[in-house]
Amino acid sequence: MKVTLLGSITAIYYLYGLSKSFFFLYATGVTGIFFIVYVSPFFFNVFLYKGYNQEVQVIALLVLIIITLSYTYDGLSKSFLFLCEFIRVTRILLGGLSMIFLFILYLFLVFHCKKSNNKSKVARLVGEIQYKDLNMLGSGGAMVRASKVDGLEAIEAGFVRKIHYEELKTATTNFSDKLGSGGSGQVFKCILKCGTSAAVKRLEREIYGEQEFLSELIATSSTRHFNLIHVHRYCSHVSETSRFYYVVYDLFKNGSLDSWIFPIKDCPNGRFLNWKKRCKVAVDVAKALVYLHRDCGKQILHLDIKPKNILVGDDFRGVLSDLGMCKLMSIDEKCFQTELTRGTFHYMAPEWNSSHAKEKSVDIF
């Protein structure tokens, strides 16, 4: 019973030392185990089984405790030194990580501010490049005449990259794959360097003026919506024989909505939209208008909505295109005044025949 008691007490002290010095087990591990296995039995045999009195047994127990604590103290001291070194290294690492984090945060803020400034500049330029009519600007309704903005400055403020004419000529195989034509120009198929198929709209400068080109380019480049056309590239080319604008946008193999609802000789047989698909296209166009009128951070009025300006995707998704006649309004404006009539005659709202201010409802007639 006495042997068990002494051994238990010694083991408790030793395990306590181990628990306090777990970082340096070598300090108390090997030597401590050697002591427990080989030295302790000697003390037990000499002092307990040889008939020594109680005082000697107490001294033996104290010797056991002192030796155990000495090894434990050695482990604790090394653990303390290790902890100090660990804390020092941790502080260095945390300091380095903090510097890296602050640097990344700085880059993020610089990029975010630059992007925000670009968007603000785009919004300002979209308003400035409107037709030379009277624009209602500001909540007070002050009337000022729009200033003429340099085309290059307006384009550079947007998010559409320029494509060189020679590269565009190669991508379209010298404009050989014609997809269709309209009153303002022709549409060709092209394959970009990345392998993506796209459509190229070639606009004649004499018909499609600079203001229309810049309005469409900047308005579409500063907006993003699933049901709104997205412009990838642009090009302005002038030569002795030709003067064209080029706009590269997503390719829609199904063409425009007018080829599905009006009988055309060149249309494939059986090309027809049932009422369910027609309603789907109508809802998609409505979503695009809600985005332009309310959710894009400003009010952009399309002002030329017609079947020819609605493209049909592979899944019969309706996509609104051709923002050449668009008009920018501040988010709190309710109406606008203009001296020019915009849109296609058969699809125009009756309010265009009036000289009074127009509301944005003319865009959803």
| Amino acid at position 89, single letter | V
Q: How many CA atoms lie within 13 A of 144 on its CB side?
A: 10
CA angle, residues 281, 282, 283, in degrees to nearest 5:
90
Tokens encoding 231: 């412009």
Is residue 304 flagged as an active site residue?
Answer: yes
Give CA–CA dist 338/35, Å, rounded: 101
CA angle, residues 77, 79, 82, in degrees to nearest 5:
115
- Selecting among 266, 284, 304, 314, the annotated active-site residue is 304
Give CA–CA dist 299/296, Å, rounded: 7
| Amino acid at position 280, single letter | K
Q: Are 166 and 212 in contact (CB under 8 A)?
A: no
Say which residue the tokens 């200033």 belong to. 147
Q: Are 250 and 230 in contact (CB under 8 A)?
A: yes
Query: Torsions phi, psi of 80, nearest 5?
Result: -65, -45
| Amino acid at position 25, single letter | L
201 has binding-site annotation: yes
DSSP state of 92: H
Q: How many residues does the chain have?
A: 365
Q: Residues annotated as binding site? A: 201
Q: Residues annotated as binding site for ATP? A: 201
Residues with a known catalytic role: 304
